[in-house]
Structure 1
Amino acid sequence: MNDIGSHWAKVAIETAVAKGYVKGYPDGTFKPNKEVTRAEFVKMVSDSLHLPVKPAAAGTKWYTPYVSALKAAALLQDSDLGTAWDGQMNRTEMSKLLVRGTDDAVRGKKLTDGEALYKSASVGLISGIADGTLNEKGTTTRAEAVAVIERLSTVRAGGKLTADKNAVQNAAIIYKGTNLEEVWGIKPVSLPFNLEINAKVEAALDKMIIVDLDDPKSPLRSNFKKLIRRSDEKVMNKDAYVVALHIKLKNSKVQSHTMFSFNTDAVLPYLNQGYNLAFEYENMDNFPILKGMWLDKIATQEGWYLMVVDKSIITKYPERKVPMLLTFSGVQLKLGEVIEG
């Protein structure tokens, strides 16, 4: 292949061509950055697994036998892919095939997008893109396709891959709503979680994200350009974690001339644990902070509530990795528990 000399997937491409499940073009190129279609990808996977493929029947599409072979092997379901077989394969669709090909527990079973992404990232089948995110709806190139198929082959042969921790965290947020377990080893409450803070509004926590300010690829890290610790107005940009809680509020009855604020009517950070309330002056449009709401009509609101904790506190007192909120009525809302072992 005369166009892969310095390409990051050179070895995988050469291996795939040698195995015979993918070919180059007549002009000697491979076109590694060309997007791969769903039909092309299922053929590549089927051939790489050496599945029995019958010749295409008259009047059927060329890829039909490969689709049938994958379905017969319980690796593909109709709900996995988009309807356009000549459309580009995205990373979520790709993950469903990969996971079923390596995990007998889910072979033949329907997978949600989040479950497929989380399971595939956790064993290293897929990794994040440059900024650490998954780009889960992004298209797949020919180079990426052969790279993941070679990873599939490695796992099926009993090999181990190195998981991309940021990809795993981002997948966990999509799948579970939180990366608490992946970052701190804490079992989170099941999300969404009803906070039950008072009778004025209903409050539900649906995302709980731990952000490492020292890792530029940590989930949500790019949102925090100027994070301020409220207790002393210190700018927090390193040596700390952010605990970002996404909360949905709803008042189910009209309460005239009444306003509700999550910060002043409901909870405080668990200050004696080292957590401090934080706020941000920049990027507010991209990362809306939870605001006060008037209750004179039935309404809903959602946004983020931020707490920040110095890493030294977590290092010295590892039991404080469990995020908590303290209501003004004195009720402690514990949002996780330490996983034994």
Structure 2
Amino acid sequence: MKKKILMSVLTVLTVIVGSLNSAVAEAAQDNTIGKAVESRETPVIQFTDIQGHWAQAAIQDAVQRGYVDGYPDKRFLPNQQVSRAEFIKMAVSALELEAASTSSGSWYAPYVTAAESAGIYKVGDYADGNLTQRMTREEMSKLAVKALGYKNVEDKQWMYLASKDGIISGTAPGVISPTGATTRAQAIAVIERLLQVKSGKELPVDKYAVAAAEGYWHKTNIFSVAPEIFNGPDNHNKNFGIDSWKTSKLRFGAPDGSIVAQVDELIAIDWNDPKDPNRKLLPSKDKLVWKFGSKENLFTNDLQAYVIVLKSHLPINKKPKSYPINQLNLAILGYNGQPTGELLNMAYLVESKDPKRKINGLVIPKTGFSTDGNIRVLVETISAGAPIYQSTLSKSKLIR
């Protein structure tokens, strides 16, 4: 009887020990699998020259994604310039476009072919056609904008669209450097942002870069700086808002060619933004007035307004006695009410009391005004009794 009991106990112990050994083995296997998974993860490469660099995180992400590499000496060279071919290769790899390998031709030929097939590059995109030359910031923007699927883009509009989507930012406040070189760090930052936008993410936008890029595109920034006035939600029509502005309207004059007027720039300045890069165009506050007739008002900090500065000239003037002033008059029409010079309720003339910083422009209100439904921006020649030549630069629907 005792032997039977002893045998039963031994059997139970054997089963228990066997179960424990099996559990330990499974746990060990799970741990091994975990370690195997960890070992398959790409380790973060510690480059010796990116610590503290503004693009450090983006560079590490790009290397992890596998579309760019560092150098054997553990340097990344983030500030080294990128060629057009190198950027195309990065973009094609990051976008996971198929680049068929080939034993002939240049190393970048498969990537260029892939970019052409995807519609993000075409022959003629670069004036000199040399893909080994450095990539400019404008060229980089062009490829990025094409990758986002934009169609019918105007000449010089690329940087505006890229900055508006958060793909590029300024090299300094209000500076976009279209012909500036592209560095490896900048290229990666742009591609990383491109991937985020394509995934549906909304990126922060450098508003000063957008305004500068708009000016570079079509000689004005009014639609970026003062969109609620010139490009509000009711302007979904090619005849209104930003689509009503055409660079062909910036040059006009007499039918016989004796007088030719040219708008060089129309610049909006946000008076309530002390960091607005174009504030440098204005004199100090104590030397800036807005006026109606002889009534003058100093600008104050609480004045809710935009200053619109016009730069213009007459490149051809065969009648200087009839057109003695080498600039154009600016009018912004569509405001209701009577001008009094007491209340900023419409466009008023701006004058600089600083002889070293003269300006030609108007001040318009942000609030406290009503309209006839349309705001029109018009320029015209200033004559001494001779015919006046005009051009309506833009129209915007604005009901107040």
Aligned-partner Cα distance in 2 for 1:238–1:131: 24
C-alpha displacement of 1:205? 3.2
Alignment-derived partner of residue 128 in structure 1: 170
More displaced, 16-25 or 128-137? 128-137
Alignment-derived partner of residue 50 in structure 2: 4
Counterpart residue type for residue 172 of structure 1: E
Provide closer, same or farther for how the CA distance between residues 339 and 15 of structure 1 changes in structure 2, counting only shifts above 3 A: farther
Q: Is the 8 A contact 1:43 1:63 kept in 2?
A: yes
Aligned-partner Cα distance in 2 for 1:252–1:225: 30
- 3-state SS, counterpart of residue 144 of structure 2: helix
C-alpha displacement of 1:267? 6.9
Provide closer, same or farther for how the CA distance between residues 100 and 282 of structure 1 changes in structure 2, counting only shifts above 3 A: farther
Aligned-partner Cα distance in 1 for 2:215–2:141: 16
Q: Counterparts in 2 of 1:123-202, with a 5 A limit?
A: 123-185=165-227, 186=230, 187=241, 189-191=245-247, 192-193=249-250, 201-202=259-260
Q: Deviations over 1:31-68 (max 9, x none)?
A: 1111111121111111111222122433x221122111
Alignment-derived partner of residue 221 in structure 1: 279
C-alpha displacement of 1:153? 0.8
Q: Deviations over 1:152-209 (max 9, x none)?
A: 1112222222222111111212223222222222126434246779x99443435322
Provide closer, same or farther for how the CA distance between residues 281 and 158 of structure 1 changes in structure 2, counting only shifts above 3 A: same
Q: Rg: which structure is higher?
A: 2
Residue 108 of structure 2 is aligned to residue 52 of structure 1: no
C-alpha displacement of 1:229? 2.8
Provide closer, same or farther for how the CA distance between residues 277 and 136 of structure 1 changes in structure 2, counting only shifts above 3 A: same
Q: Is the 8 A contact 2:138 2:158 kept in 1?
A: yes
Counterpart residue type for residue 72 of structure 2: P
C-alpha displacement of 1:323? 4.9
Q: Deviations over 1:241-275 (max 9, x none)?
A: 321123232556446x5552267x96788893242
Q: Counterparts in 2 of 1:5-44, with a 5 A limit?
A: 5-44=51-90
Provide closer, same or farther for how the CA distance between residues 235 and 252 of structure 1 changes in structure 2, counting only shifts above 3 A: same
Q: Unaligned 5+ residue runs, structure 1?
A: 290-303
Residue 72 of structure 2 is aligned to residue 72 of structure 1: no
Alignment-derived partner of residue 349 in structure 2: 276
Aligned-partner Cα distance in 2 for 1:208–1:72: 40
Residue 161 of structure 2 is aligned to residue 119 of structure 1: yes
Identity %: 31
Q: Counterparts in 2 of 1:252-291, with a 5 A limit?
A: 253-254=318-319, 258=322, 260-261=324-325, 272=339, 273-279=346-352, 281=354
Residue 269 of structure 2 is aligned to residue 211 of structure 1: yes
Counterpart residue type for residue 315 of structure 1: T
Alignment-derived partner of residue 298 in structure 1: none
Q: Is the 8 A contact 2:310 2:361 kept in 1?
A: yes
C-alpha displacement of 1:133? 1.6
Residue 311 of structure 2 is aligned to residue 246 of structure 1: yes
Q: Is the 8 A contact 2:271 2:307 kept in 1?
A: yes
Aligned-partner Cα distance in 2 for 1:325–1:277: 16
Q: Is the 8 A contact 2:145 2:162 kept in 1?
A: yes
Alignment-derived partner of residue 317 in structure 1: 369
> Could you state the TM-score of these two structures normalised by the residue count of structure 1?
0.76
Provide closer, same or farther for how the CA distance between residues 22 and 182 of structure 1 changes in structure 2, counting only shifts above 3 A: same
Aligned-partner Cα distance in 2 for 1:55–1:194: 51
Alignment-derived partner of residue 293 in structure 1: none
Aligned-partner Cα distance in 1 for 2:395–2:154: 26
C-alpha displacement of 1:147? 0.7
Aligned-partner Cα distance in 1 for 2:370–2:58: 42
Aligned-partner Cα distance in 1 for 2:120–2:63: 23
C-alpha displacement of 1:216? 5.5
Provide closer, same or farther for how the CA distance between residues 268 and 64 of structure 1 changes in structure 2, counting only shifts above 3 A: closer
Aligned-partner Cα distance in 2 for 1:251–1:31: 51
Counterpart residue type for residue 241 of structure 1: Y
Q: Which stretches of structure 1, 4 residues or more, deviate above 6 A after TM superposition?
A: 194-197, 235-238, 265-271, 325-334
Alignment-derived partner of residue 292 in structure 1: none
Provide closer, same or farther for how the CA distance between residues 180 and 50 of structure 1 changes in structure 2, counting only shifts above 3 A: same
- 3-state SS, counterpart of residue 265 of structure 2: strand
Q: CA RMSD in A?
A: 3.8
> Could you state the TM-score of these two structures normalised by the residue count of structure 2?
0.66
Q: Is the 8 A contact 1:269 1:277 kept in 2?
A: no
Q: Deviations over 1:80-126 (max 9, x none)?
A: 224332321111100111011112x42xx7x5442211211111111
- 3-state SS, counterpart of residue 79 of structure 1: coil
Alignment-derived partner of residue 24 in structure 2: none
Give the number of aligned pairs: 313
